[in-house]
Amino acid sequence: MRQKLAAGNWKMNGTGAALAELTALAEAFPAQATAAGKSCAQILICPPATLLSRAADSIKGSAVTLGGQDCHAVPSGAHTGDTSAEMLQDSGASAVILGHSERRADHSETSESVAAKAKAAWAADLVAVICLGETLAERETDDTLKVVGAQLAASVPAAATGANTVIAYEPVWAIGTGKVPTLAQIADVHDFLRAELTARFGAEMAQATRLLYGGSVKASNAAEIFATSNVDGALVGGASLKAADFEPIVAALNAST
């Protein structure tokens, strides 16, 4: 059975004052919640790297875990301004988001570079949360499955397992826009991704790998999205910044079957 996952991506938001939100979230979901509730979701918050080590103190004793938002493909070296997977792990992260569409667009990241970063993440004992998704133009020309299939094939290295990899489907046009695909459109893509994983890695790996939906998830639409075929959780941007917005999303995930 796949453990559900509620992931929050703070993006380039948050200074020390934002740690109060993490503390509030940690208080709402103490560690015992994970042990006691059979359907309790894993919670993963990815704050800016500058907050990670302080965030690690804020979440002690809770069900909340921490991740980075990107990493370099090598562990150390002359790469001014970059952060390695080892550094994230050392600061308290257990996962890292890779290939977010904002990285692909703003930093010209290719699926091949995402795959190299995934290997670096695994070498540092981080779970790779690999993002993919189509643009509005690609959706309108009916190229969605072709695009996400190609991204999946090239971004996910051969050594992927259900334990070291999470896939997040995030239509670019749904991120930060308030627009959400229909539930049928989400199901189409998630069913396709599960089938692609099965074809390449076999049923065991495909059944063990969490598939997240991301893009304008909020408390008001979370329950119906979580009830959609092959959706194992969400990657949430804006609505993860405030504990009061994120808590009902986690609660909806816990309540989903």
Which CA distances in Å does 65 have to 18, 43, 93, 119, 217? 16, 6, 7, 21, 20
By CB under 6 A, tell whether 236 contacts ligand PGA: yes
- In the list 215, 232, 246, 253, the residue contacting ligand PGA (rule: CB under 6 A) is 215
Taking a C-beta distance cutoff of 8 angstroms, is the pair 115, 71 a contact? no
Beta bridge partners of 68: 96
Strands 64-68 and 42-46: parallel
Alpha helical stretches, state H, 93-242: 101-106, 111-123, 136-140, 144-155, 183-201, 203-208, 219-226
Q: Which residue is nearest to ligand PGA (CB)?
A: 237
Tell me the C-alpha distance between 6 and 189, whole Å: 19
Q: What are phi and psi of 236, to 5 degrees?
A: -115, 130
User: Measured from the CB of residue 233, what is the shortest distance to ligand PGA in angstroms?
Assistant: 12
Cβ 38 to ligand PGA, closest distance in Å?
Answer: 27
- Residue 136 or 203: the one with the smaller Cβ distance to ligand PGA is 136
Q: Does 176 bind ligand PGA (CB under 6 A)?
A: yes
Using CB under 6 A as the binding rule, the residues of this chain from 4 to 63 that contact ligand PGA are 9
CB of 61 to ligand PGA, least distance (A): 27
Q: How many residues bind ligand PGA (CB under 6 A)?
A: 13
Candidate list 190, 196, 238, 246; residue touching ligand PGA; CB under 6 A: 238
Token pair recorded at residue 252? 């909806």
Tokens (6 digits) for 145: 């499955």
Residues labelled catalytic: 100, 170
Whole-number Å distance between alpha carbons of 171 and 215: 7
67, 68, 214, 233: which one contacts ligand PGA (CB under 6 A)?
214
Least distance to ligand PGA from the beta carbon of 176, Å? 4
Question: Which window, 47-55, 116-124, 195-203, 210-218, contacts ligand PGA (CB under 6 A)?
Answer: 210-218
When asked if residue 250 is in the footprint of ligand PGA (CB under 6 A), the reply is no
Binding site for ligand PGA (CB under 6 A): 9, 170, 175-176, 214-217, 235-239
